[in-house]
Structure 1
Amino acid sequence: MASVCIPEIDMKDFPGQSGKLIAACEEWGCFRIINHGIPITLLSEMKSVARSLLDLPVDVKQRTADAIAGKGYSPPDMANPLLEGLGVYDMASPGAIDSFCDQLNATPQQRETILKYSHAVHELAQYIGQKLVDGMGLDVELFKEWPCQFRMNKYHYTPQTIGSTGALMHTDAGFLTIVQDDDIVSGLEAVDKKSGALVPIDPVPGTLLINIGDLGKAWSNGRFYNVKHRVQCNEGTTRMSIALFVLGPKEAKVEAPPQLVDSAHPRLFVPFNFEDYRMLRITKRSPTGGALEFLRATSAA
């Protein structure tokens, strides 16, 4: 498979990039951003901290585990036997990062790096949200006080696992994801909306990757593409990634703004609560966005 150059958005060139940004959300559901404002040194330091924390003994990492899958420590399992993760579900809530660091006995330097990085990427998420509504000609708030999940992933690749799947095909449940992918070890593949083919998304050092999730599709009344993607093992060496998942509003329903709904574009999905939708994906065993079909508006059926 030949790698594909997905759109690249210069975050310092707005409103010049507005049309390109919206087109990337609609046509690809993923794109890279440059000039994102997070120093290269901080990206590197965060990657080192993530690796060191995921190298901790399992009993220490288990201190962050949550009864709900994906909200804390996630050990390798039958579905993704090569993938391990650590995370904070609502990382911007007061004390969330400090509590996470306390549980892992993080050093002062590790704590400082996580706090700096998480704050920077959360601010970036808010900025991207503003550029999305600006680009669509809307006067609404997006992502304000939405829970954001911070996650560090480690893929336990070895020469023996080459050709295996590190993370099964899925869409992200939330609105969008900001990913610092491994800038050396490849493996990410996405489904091309036009052809339906899997295409490799090779790493580009210094950039960040944005994926549109199921909520992005619902909120945009079907305009944005919730990109299906997976991670393969192409090299027999550990792969790391760090992600911020912009999930959904805590209490308000997710629904397309009225400006995106008219006679030519009827409302596609009924308003829904994000946590209810996240559980629907689990109960319906629908990791690739199919659960949205259960929320189709009658008029759009």
Structure 2
Amino acid sequence: MDKTQSIPTIDLSDFPAQYEKLRRSSEEWGCFRVVNHNIPFELMQEMKQVVRSLLDLPIQIKQNNVDVIAGSGYWAPSPKNPLYEALGLYDMASSQAVHTFCSQLDASPSQRDTVAKYAKAIHEVIMDIGGKIAESMGLKGDYCKEWPCQFRINKYHFTPQSVGSAGVQLHTDSGFLTILQDDENVGGLEVMDKSGEFVAVDPLPGSLLVNLGDMATVS
């Protein structure tokens, strides 16, 4: 594979023409970017501001974000992942779960509104992409409809001395798919191709990155 090649970009407004490209991208790369996903750029930017504010809260408040299942609440930096910190909730499709998440962190009314709007918008994109992946494989049905959609907001504590280090340990995602809104200015994200080589994933403003996880691999 040509290491100068970028990961594929899928235009969600161009179906059914993109079905074959989506299928190939899923099988050959296990990841792709999506554009024209109907999430307003302004909402994406507002959510990033809320993420920064919540992760800048005192540790005593962040620790109120407790687990529903293992790993769904607050993750502090650890010896294994010293640069990584995250907050999360188990199912963004649940308005009650979103409300509880915001209450745990004493989110302001405007922050709550942004989180709720963003969670709803991302969930709709997940359902759309999951359905299109199934259809690209010749399958029909709402395969993702009843699945919980875990929601995580992440921070990487890089310093000039730690630039170049891994932000989080090498891993695969355990679920079906992950949608990531990455930084628009700072690169560093890499994915492994079929040959075992790492390929840089360059930022693309306004897009979303989709990773297929372990459940998609075995499906």
Same fold (TM over 0.5): yes
| TM-score of the pair, normalised by structure 2 | 0.96
User: Structure 2: 5+ residue runs without aligned partners?
Assistant: none
Give the aligned partner of residue 23 of structure 1: 24
Instruction: Answer yes or no: is the 8 Å Cα contact 1:9–1:32 preserved in 2.
Output: yes
Q: Percent identity?
A: 56
Aligned AA (1:217): T
Counterpart position of 1:251? none
- Given that 2:175 and 2:214 are in contact with CA atoms closer than 8 Å, whether structure 1 keeps it comes out as yes
CA distance in 2, matches of 1:19, 1:73: 39
CA distance in 1, matches of 2:26, 2:41: 25
Higher relative contact order (CA 8 A, sep 6+): 2
Greater gyration radius: 1
**Other structure's SS at 2:63 match:** helix
1:141 shift after superposition: 2.2
Cross-structure match for 1:200:
200
Q: Which residue matches 1:238?
A: none
Q: TM-score, normalised by structure 1?
A: 0.70
- Do structure 1's residue 38 and structure 2's residue 62 form an aligned pair? no
Distance in 1 of aligned mates of 2:43 and 2:4: 28
Q: Partners of 1:143 and 1:199 in 2: how far apart?
A: 29
Q: Is the 8 A contact 1:155 1:166 kept in 2?
A: yes
5 Å-filtered alignment, 1:80-91, equals 80-91=81-92
Residue aligning to 1:134: 135
The aligned residue for residue 218 of structure 1 is 218
- Cα distance in 2 between the residues matched to 1:203 and 1:209: 9
**Structure 1 runs, 4 residues or longer, greater than 6 Å off:** none
- Alpha-carbon distance in 2 for matches of 1:183, 1:208: 10
- In 1, Cα distance between the equivalents of 2:216 and 2:124? 19
Distance 1:149 1:211 in 2: 14
User: Are 2:63 and 2:74, in contact at CA under 8 Å, matched by a contact in 1?
Assistant: yes
Contact 2:69 2:90 in 1 (8 A): no
Measure the CA separation in 2 of the matches of 1:206 and 1:51: 18
CA distance in 2, matches of 1:134, 1:118: 24
* More moved, 108-117 vs 125-134: 125-134
